[in-house]
Structure 1
Amino acid sequence: MVFGHNPDAELPNWKQYFRLGAVQTEASSPGLASYVRLNRTTPYIFQDVRFYGHFFKENQEIRVRQKTSRRFMSFDWLYSFNTLIYEKNTFIDVNLRYHFNQGLGWLIRNSESGNMTAELGIAFDNSDYLNTKQKTSYARGGFTADKKMGNYETKIEVDYFHQVSKLVDNTDLSRIQLVAEAQWSIKKGVAFIIGFTEDLLKDESFNIETPSVFLTFAFKRPLNWTF
């Protein structure tokens, strides 16, 4: 059972985020980094839509993600979630991946100085959405943490997908997805952000030369929407 919010007593809080800057990898010339996010929260429901785009001369990393989280029953520290992602990454030969996951999350820490969550669930995707109907199933684990220290903020996101369905063409699609950021706020709602993203396939180890490293100018603004 999930408790929703009372719209008459608890108005939602809307925020918008934008980023624009440069991105670099060892395998490509410098490119354009972009990010757009729309966020809606109440005491019981969290809804989030994000667009990530890294555009190079010959390659692209694009991800559109929609996530909804709801407080689970009356537990303040437990929530259910579902996530839908469309993704393109020509560096790893993903032309269009359709991905869905759902499960339960644990709010380990929730404070003004930072948050920490852990998630467990199931997932499935189609890594060649335009050309095949073949779906792959996974067990998923996720971890996020952010820390605020004055004008500085750090964030890390780790997602692990372990393939549980039968291998096709002897290919294991298990993977780790990493995002790490460091942010310096120069005034209210305006910041510089440096970070990296990387997808590590099974049996690959982290290599400091392979991530996409970005430097962006970012700002966020509240929205006075009530629906």
Structure 2
Amino acid sequence: MNFTIPAAGAYVSLADLIALRFPAGQLCLARKKRALSTLAGPNKSNFRGRGIDFEEVRRYQPGDDIRTIDWRVTARSGNAHTKLFQEERERPVLIVVDQRHGMFFGSGHCFKSVLAAHLASLLAWGALDNGDRIGGLVFNGADHREIRPRRSRKTALALLSHIDSYNHALPLAPELPTPSGESSFAGMVHNLRRIAKPGSAIFLISDFHGANDERAQEYLFQLAQHTEIA
């Protein structure tokens, strides 16, 4: 894959985010770990059971589906054997976009907040092309917006619309410490845990200010136990 993200300026354009639908087709978002979701979809997992691709034949074990018995091998060997398949399963992809005060800064080309928005758009469209359910969380330190994962263009557009809205609310006032001392990054991860189901792929697009906060590290560790974080 070799293309340049066409991000420029201090603010995003919703039309530009939508137009990234086409170059996003060059992205490869194939999973590295097995799926944990229970819905059928286009990502292969290592779950043993009925599915799409034949994997191997082994001795029948109690609890195996009798419909998967390989009668030819059973007849030749004199012992019941069953076919195993590699199932294809859908995964939720969550895209987290930081639009806090610190992101409203950049070089002569574009601000970090704009680059984050364009990268999020590419990931959203790429995941949709991959057949995944897409959702996410947009936050600015003062509040946030959650989008629960669904496999639909409407969901992608909703995510991009929220990113555009939060981006155009910049610049915000610098963040103040919370009464508990918890960083806004830690608060974001705490909220993210509510919508991140086991097997989800999570893309964090941020400058990671506050990520070294003890509470943030604790939340990230808990989240990483059952999701893939990039």
User: What TM-score, normalized to structure 2?
Assistant: 0.24
- Say which structure, 1 or 2, has more relative contact order (CA 8 Å, 6+ apart): 2
Q: Larger % of helix: which?
A: 2
User: What TM-score, normalized to structure 1?
Assistant: 0.25
Structure label with greater radius of gyration: 2
